[in-house]
Amino acid sequence: MNAVKKLRLPHYLLIAAGLLVLLSLVRVVDGANDVTSSGTVEAMLRLAVPIFLAGLGGLWAERAGVINIGLEGMMILGTWTGAWAGYQWGPWIGVLAGIAGGALGGLLHAVATVSFGVDHIVSGVAINILGLGLTQFLAGLVFNVGHAKELGGGPRQSPPVDPITKISLPVLSGGGGTPDWLGSLEKHHWFLVSDLAGVLRGLTHQMSLLTLVALLLVPVSYFVLWRTPFGLRVRSCGEDPYAAESLGVRVYRMKYAAVLISGGLAGLAGAFLVTVAAPIYQDGQTAGRGFIGLAAMIFGNWRPGGLAAGSLLFGYTDAMNVRDGGQAVHALLLFVAVLLVAVAAWQAWRRSFLAAGLAAVAAVGLLVWFLDSDVVPGELVSFSPHLTTLLVLALASQRLRMPAADGLRYRRGEAR
């Protein structure tokens, strides 16, 4: 793999187009219209945003050299504080409170890892336990009494929070009482045309304003981290803190800032769950999304754009799960089988016959499963995001490069 070509935007667009054609094909073959329906794409976006925000939190921390496996705990803190403020003073205050709650978890992580030099993973695990315990405890204490209880709170859930406004694009997707051209196009289930309409409508129909904010964070994060002095300092702490120190960068301060931002973004992911996805705090609501966000970040090679792509992939598989997509996942078996055949051919061409053989066997296995059944059982669909994560990590992790000093203990004034 010494001649790795750098992929640029046109390549990515070409790949995306090819995948869409293939998806459209399996949809028509299997009659599984949910594969590219606007409902699925809408759900994908809604489910991808928390994963993306959590992953962005991980990206900020790891760019400064602090592994943050406590994202899940910070996210849980964000759901609780978000719902607590949200049901009383409206969803946007809830969003701010969610960010603050997550940042509090980030502060704890920064104190433990930066000031006290505790192992990053151990501290993260502790924050996950603490975040879960604290919110369960506080939910029982706050949501289960008095006014909150009358509004529908309980020991495991908060009173409902007003959802954040959703907007649709006029004319194309039926915003503001205008015609819904893409929607009517989608209903015909034509090859490719309806798929394209479904995807576009999913991306422009009933989108929450907070989703828009999250999407804007992709270029903003890129700009701040790669195009400003502050970003350069943060990244230098993740690559070589001793060199940064010798150049006058205040490494502790940078790490604190990055981990606080990281916690805030994880908290925002939690707040998104309570103000957009399900307008309520519930115990166990995050369902491991913090960890999947971390995996999406690794998949995206510690860069915002790649992270966004990874989040959409996991959001899509999660959408299958949420929409009870046994039929759609069944069609996707064929999709993956075709991809595997392509991989097998590519590996055979590169004379890597073991890999080619494995891919071919897997493809045949999936094909047999596809032909032998009508739907995939719901219990198996439930872990499709996690299985995808595992496979993607297994296939991708060797081409990735994490920040050089990621996870290492650093103490001011010491030699390395």
Partner 1 sequence: MSKKVPAWQAVLRGLGPRGMALRIGAPVLALLISLGITMVLLRVTGADPVSSVQAMVDYGTTPNSVVDILNRATRYYLSAVAVAIGFRMALLNIGVDGQYRLAALLAAALAGALSLPAPFGQILTIVAAMVVGGLWAAIAGVLKVTRGVSEVLSTIMLNSIATGLIAYLLNPKRLAEMRPGSNNIATPQVPSSGRVGALNGALSAIGIDLPGRLYGLLPVAIVVGIVFWVVVNYTRFGFDLKVSGLAPGAAEASGVSAKKMIVVTMVTSGAIAGLIGMPELLGASYEYSLNFPAGLGFTGITVALLGRNHPLGIAFAAVLFAFLDQTSDVLQEVEVPKEIVGVMQGVVVLTVVIVYELVRRFEIRREQRAVAGELATGHDLARAGKGR
Toward partner 1, which CB reaches closer, 189 or 386?
A: 386
Toward partner 1, which CB reaches closer, 228 or 352?
A: 352
Binding flag, residue 217, partner 1 (CB under 8 A): no
**Interface positions, 28-87, toward partner 1 (CB under 8 A):** 69
Binding flag, residue 355, partner 1 (CB under 8 A): no
Count of residues interacting with partner 1 (CB under 8 A): 45
Cβ at position 208, least distance to partner 1 in Å? 26
Binding flag, residue 389, partner 1 (CB under 8 A): yes
> What residues have CB less than 8 Å from 61, skipping those under 6 apart?
67, 68, 106, 109, 258, 259, 262
**Interface positions, 253-292, toward partner 1 (CB under 8 A):** 288, 291
Binding flag, residue 354, partner 1 (CB under 8 A): no
Nearest to 348 by CA among 363, 368, 330: 363
Q: Which stretch binds partner 1 (CB under 8 A): 172-180, 191-199, 201-209, 293-301?
A: 293-301
Toward partner 1, which CB reaches closer, 279 or 290?
A: 290
Do residues 267 and 82 lie in contact, with contact meaning Cβ atoms separated by under 8 Å? yes
Binds partner 1 (CB under 8 A): choice among 354, 394, 413, 415: 394
Instruction: Classify burial at 404, counting beta carbons within 10 Å of its beta carbon; exposed 0-12, middle 13-18, buried 19 or more.
Output: exposed
**Per-residue DSSP letter, 111:** I
> What residues have CB less than 8 Å from 332, skipping those under 6 apart?
26, 35, 320
Nearest to 406 by CA among 56, 55, 65: 65
Binding flag, residue 112, partner 1 (CB under 8 A): yes
Dihedral angle over CA of 50, 53, 55, 59, nearest 10: -170
Toward partner 1, which CB reaches closer, 244 or 295?
A: 295
C-alpha to C-alpha distance for 20 and 130, rounded to whole angstroms: 43
The two most distant CA atoms of the chain are separated, in Å, by: 70
C-alpha to C-alpha distance for 102 and 286, rounded to whole angstroms: 13
Binding flag, residue 131, partner 1 (CB under 8 A): yes
List contacts with partner 1 (CB under 8 A): 69, 108, 112, 116-119, 121-123, 125-127, 129-134, 136-137, 139-141, 144, 155, 288, 291, 294-295, 298, 377, 379-380, 382-383, 386-387, 389-390, 393-395, 397-398
